[in-house]
Amino acid sequence: MKISIVLPWIRKDKMKRCVRMINKNAGYPIHEILKKEDKKRIGCPKMVKKLVERSTGDLVCFLGDDTLPQKDFLKYAVESMKTFPFNWGLVGLNDGTGRILPTHWLASKHLLPFLDDEFFHTGYNHCCCDQELLFRCENIQRYVYSQKAIVLHDHPILKGEATTDKDYLRVYSPEVRGPDQALFKRRSENGWKT
């Protein structure tokens, strides 16, 4: 199985740290790492879609610039992928928060026809896309959470810390979060159609 890692970024130092940790800790061969700066702040879902379209691996691993991949994270994720019939589905990575949401994940491209050809729905700005992905993959019995595939999320808001980072403050502001939550509600009530 060839694995493409997609890494949209807005924080250059954190992106470089993440790439170093990927190379050190994957524990499984990586086919390619595709990274791109979100200069126009179009949002994570749109950036992920662009990078997935460029990817050539059978599996795609999504990481953010604020992730800290731990020892053998990819090896454990692949082991979890192999628990699915025919070895395809979505594996949620353990971000250290105790949540089972696929904020970061390993996914087979076989899922794309079931997800309207995008892992994260591109109508979202930032929030709720992982919730939709979780529900849709659970609905077709193609989701598993990997406790051992640890990719810590170095995220001040999730850790309850104060931050001055304008990008974190922007994407979790009521102006961004509110419309994303409303879109999630509409889509969930309409069978994931808008």
Q: Token digits for 59?
A: 């599996």
Distances (CA, A) of 121 to 60, 126, 130, 136, 155: 16, 10, 9, 11, 22
Domain range annotation of the chain: 3-189
List helix spans (H) across 55-156. Answer: 73-81, 129-139
Write the DSSP assignment of 42-53 as a string of letters. --HHHHHHHHHH
Mean pLDDT by 10 residues, the chain (194 residues): 96 97 97 97 97 98 97 98 97 92 97 97 95 97 98 77 76 89 96 89
Residues in the chain: 194
Gap between the Cα atoms of 37 and 41, Å rounded:
9
Taking residue 37's Cβ as centre, other Cβ atoms within 10 Å add up to 13
* pLDDT computed for residue 157 by the predictor: 65
* pLDDT computed for residue 79 by the predictor: 98
Full-model pTM: 0.94
Under 8 Å between Cβ of 71 and 125: no
* pLDDT computed for residue 158 by the predictor: 66
With residue 162 as reference, give the H or E element that holds it.
Answer: none
3-state SS, residue 167: helix
Identify the DSSP state of 125.
S
Closest by CA position to 136, among listed 150, 151, 153, 121:
121
List helix spans (H) across the chain. Answer: 12-25, 44-54, 73-81, 129-139, 166-171, 174-189
Residue 168 neighbours by CB under 8 Å, 6+ apart = 155, 156, 157
Candidates 3.40.47.40, 3.90.1560.10, 3.90.550.10, 3.40.50.300; CATH matching 3-189: 3.90.550.10
